[in-house]
Amino acid sequence: MNYDLEKYPMKPDVVAFLEKVQTSYPPHSEAGSIEEGRRSYEVMCTYFDTPIPDGIDIRDDVVEGREGPIPIRLYIPRDPSSDTTVIYYHGGGFAIGNLDTHNTICADMASETNLRVVAVDYRLTPEHRFPAHFHDAIDAFAALDEGRTIVCGDSAGGTLAAAICADRHCSEQQPIGQVLIYAFLGGVIMGLPSYEEASHAPLLTTQDVHYFEDLRSAGNPSNDNPTYFPLVQEDFSGFPPCAAFAAEFDPIRDDSVEYVNRLQDAGVQAECTVEKGLVHGYLRGRYMSLDAGNSFQRICNAIRNFGAEN
């Protein structure tokens, strides 16, 4: 994997993270089958696994969805600071990823925030096209929410977290906060600048975005549906407060910037942090890159702030 360090200047620890990814996960998995891509991704994730923090109890369960049981994994601190629940939706282009690939990320998040985290194993494309993954996401939220729920996700999981906020707009059952990590929100149909500026960025290219998007929609995207592309929402007033985090060298960077701008214009408390010198998927490198680790701490701080009892 060659990196254009002139166009995408990265610190040595970020380059080391990318090289570790490269050892297990080829950069353009669409060249093979979906199953091959999933296996490569799962192997790559194991390279970054870390010990589960002390004081976190983990158990698997299911909640009932409209189309069958939805697997979940609970991460429960032994003395949580409040009754807030963080629902976490994993990334992977709606096509790859599962409870295991994000296991240590969720465990660390529960430990750092001292809040209950629940990961959702939603159905994947192409076996299950849109809206199957959204149905699982919103059904899990409805089953788990007890009035103090933060929705959180990375990449495609960030899409689902924001889509829940759109779906529950003006509803009595809404999240109390949304934390979006390099989320895909629909900027691809708006021609936002980052799709050109970071079109060949490491770990995610604009071509990759189109590939996963075609898989998700079978070539028939729901461009006017905010549960598909949250940025097409017309009225953002009354949305939950938002903390969004984007990577500088990521074609979907400007999705988060635009989303937060629209929330702010509607009077919603919202902030976007563009993490300088980082790339899509940097959460996994939080123990290799100082900047990635600092971003993870900022993410956890945002979750803690939303989850604090008033």
Q: What is the pLDDT of residues 12-25, one digit of tens each?
A: 999 999 999 998 76
Q: How many domains does the chain have?
A: 1
146 part of a folded domain: yes
Cα separation, 214 vs 39, in Å, equals: 20
Task: Give domain status of residue 1, yes or no.
Answer: no
Residue 4 resides in a domain: no
Global pTM value: 0.96
Higher pLDDT, 82 or 29: 82
Give the domain range for residue 139.
12-307
Whether residue 293 is contained in a domain is answered as yes
CATH code (residue 234): 3.40.50.1820
**Is 145 contained in some domain?**
yes
Quote the pLDDT of residue 26: 55
Tell whether the torsion through CA atoms of 249, 252, 255 and 256 is positive or negative: negative
The pLDDT tens digits of the residues spanning 224-271 come to 999 999 999 999 999 999 999 999 999 999 999 999 999 999 999 999
Q: Residue 3: which pLDDT band, with cuts at 50, 70 and 90?
A: confident
CA separation, residue 178 to residues 56, 122, 144, 181 (Å): 23, 18, 15, 10
Residue 6 lies in a domain: no
Residue 3 belongs to a domain: no
pLDDT by residue (tens digit) across 148-199? 999 999 999 999 999 999 999 999 999 999 999 999 999 999 999 999 999 9
pLDDT at residue 136 in the model: 98
100 within domain boundaries: yes
Catalytic residues: 155, 250, 280
Instruction: Round to whole Å and give the CA distance between 266 and 161.
Output: 19
